[in-house]
Amino acid sequence: MRRTSLVLVGGACLFAAASANASIEYRVSIDKSAGELRVAACADRDYARLELRAQDGANGYLLGFSRSDGGAVARSGDRLLARAVPDGACVNYRIAAARATRSNGRDEGMQTADGSWIVSPGVWLWRADEAGVLRLDLPAGMRASLPWRPRDASRTTYVLEAGGGDWPAWAAFGNVDERIVAGGDGTELRIAVVDAPSRQRADDLHGWLREVANATLTAYRRFPVRSAQVLVIEIGSNSSSPVPWGQTTRGAGVAVELFVRRDASLKELRADWTAIHEFSHFFHPYLGNSGRWLSEGLASYYQNVLRARAGIVSEAYAWERLDAGFGRGRNSATGVSLADISRAPRRRHSRQSGGWPVMRIYWGGAAFWLEADIALHRERGIGLEDVLAAYSQCCLPEAGRVDPDAFIARLDALSQSTVFSRLARQHSTAAHFPSLQSSYATLGLRVESDRAVLSSDADAVALRNKIMGERIAPTAFGAR
Ligand SMILES: [Zn+2]
């Protein structure tokens, strides 16, 4: 375990408090043949007014509702309202879960190859805003992957934080093969493969993601999140990418969804960057659109650095991929700054990929993190991962948005430097992609005909090793 001398700057742990006063218990069971999820939302104190809320449009999947004490329940759109609910009474409701998976509405459910259900919790869990617990009672042969943190090793009771019901998240029920990858300090990834066609394929997918998860552990030996859900869903696709789509969601705890091409070989998957990119999003809080260059930049930087550290790719290859990315960023959205791009309404970028100049944002952000990493090593004798480790210990919330300026200020304070604010100002206000010439010179890096040429200068080698080399014994924070 790392010994650190943390600089705590009022870093309240935002995620510890919410679960202590759970007062609604949601008992969830399944009638597979009826295609229904059944929920009993039970009070453990008297409620003058109990309101259970679902996501927009969930109304159509509510099949019926009642109260265990015979009292009234009123429905108003996507809300159920019960008054004078005594301690121990439950509001019972039934949800057409199988139908939700066939909605083809991206927000409601997804149909899988073998009939497992993937349903948004906002559709099936009509819940109060306050914290609660969810208890799962599954029929024989059915297993689940849920987005919330399990309360204990039995993995049948989950902790529902207060609020958090409005952002996307997914729950999977059916042929779900969930396996745990443990990191330091009790952190874990709950990796769930849905509807694998064979045991061998499930083993391959889990082996691949265990390798990727372990690559993220090369940063500071534990995951930045306590318990994250990773859903792996195979799809038919003509995409050249073995992982045509991946995303990180923070609707009910941090989660990653990876859509894997059904015919992707293990070799193709190991060579792909999508999974490590998504896992790298664990290192930062949600920063909103204005912080997108920081969040996508960090994931784009680490998708190369962490794979090199873990030995999945060579150091030279990682530099080549970073350099190629910088080249794409340099050719995108010239003449406007990252700050301008972040402020501008999305439609202003409508001619480029989904409304955003994606390459400029991703690789402009990656250039910032590379230069921050170099500056930290030179000025403070520490690496970016040391600062992110300290941030995750004191300050990283698992839900809610953090203002990008506040994030940068906190990283400055933790590193006892002005590296982050100084470089963020430079990088965000420059109208063109930065020249990385002096950073390349410091690294002893040239790229000729797409091939990295690495100098043998001792200082350059040492710096490159600190960035790309595996850190078997991480340096103590603040040590020179
Ligand atoms: Zn990303």
Q: Percent of the chain having pLDDT more than 70?
A: 89
- Alpha-carbon distance of 284 to 136, in angstroms, equals 31
Helix-helix angle 384-394:358-380, to 10 degrees = 100
Distance 175 CA to ligand 1 centre (A): 28
Distance 307 CA to ligand 1 centre (A): 16
- What confidence tens digit (pLDDT) does each residue in 195-206 have? 999 999 999 999
Distance 281 CA to ligand 1 centre (A): 7
Q: What is the mean pLDDT of the chain?
A: 89
Could you state, in order of their start, the residue ranges of all structural domains in the chain?
A: 24-96+121-156, 315-468
Distance 298 CA to ligand 1 centre (A): 9
- Give the pLDDT score at 370: 98
- Alpha-carbon distance of 101 to 172, in angstroms, equals 10
Distance 346 CA to ligand 1 centre (A): 17
Distance 297 CA to ligand 1 centre (A): 8
- Alpha-carbon distance of 2 to 465, in angstroms, equals 19
Query: Are the C-beta atoms of residues 189 and 181 closer than 8 Å to each other?
Result: yes
- What confidence tens digit (pLDDT) does each residue in 41-82 have? 999 999 999 999 999 889 999 999 999 999 999 999 999 999
φ and ψ at residue 43, rounded to 5 degrees: -85, 140
> Whole-model pTM?
0.89
Distance 296 CA to ligand 1 centre (A): 5
Of 172, 166, 165, the C-alpha closest to 190 is 172
Distance 277 CA to ligand 1 centre (A): 6
Query: Are the C-beta atoms of residues 300 and 273 closer than 8 Å to each other?
Result: no
Distance 300 CA to ligand 1 centre (A): 7
Residue 336 has pLDDT above 50, yes or no: yes
Q: What mean pLDDT is predicted for residues 12-41?
A: 75
- Alpha-carbon distance of 279 to 299, in angstroms, equals 8
Domain 24-96+121-156, architecture per CATH = Sandwich (2.60)
Distance 329 CA to ligand 1 centre (A): 15
- Give the pLDDT score at 359: 92
φ and ψ at residue 133, rounded to 5 degrees: -125, 155
Distance 245 CA to ligand 1 centre (A): 11
- Alpha-carbon distance of 206 to 94, in angstroms, equals 34
Distance 278 CA to ligand 1 centre (A): 6
pLDDT band at 346 (very low <50, low <70, confident <90, very high): low
Burial of 111 (0-12, 13-18, 19+ CB in 10 A): middle
Tell me which of 294 and 114 has the higher pLDDT: 294
- Give the pLDDT score at 462: 97
Of 183, 181, 233, the C-alpha closest to 207 is 181
pLDDT band at 154 (very low <50, low <70, confident <90, very high): confident
Distance 25 CA to ligand 1 centre (A): 35
Distance 143 CA to ligand 1 centre (A): 29
Distance 67 CA to ligand 1 centre (A): 44
Identity of residue 448: E
Distance 319 CA to ligand 1 centre (A): 19
Distance 237 CA to ligand 1 centre (A): 21
Distance 368 CA to ligand 1 centre (A): 16
Distance 357 CA to ligand 1 centre (A): 14
Q: Tokens for 8?
A: 């705590």
- Alpha-carbon distance of 28 to 479, in angstroms, equals 51
Distance 303 CA to ligand 1 centre (A): 10
Identity of residue 125: L
Residue 475 has pLDDT above 50, yes or no: no
Phi-psi region of 23 (alpha: psi -120 to 50; beta: other; left: phi over 0): alpha
Distance 362 CA to ligand 1 centre (A): 8
- What confidence tens digit (pLDDT) does each residue in 432-466 have? 999 999 999 999 999 999 999 999 999 999 999 99
- Alpha-carbon distance of 260 to 113, in angstroms, equals 12
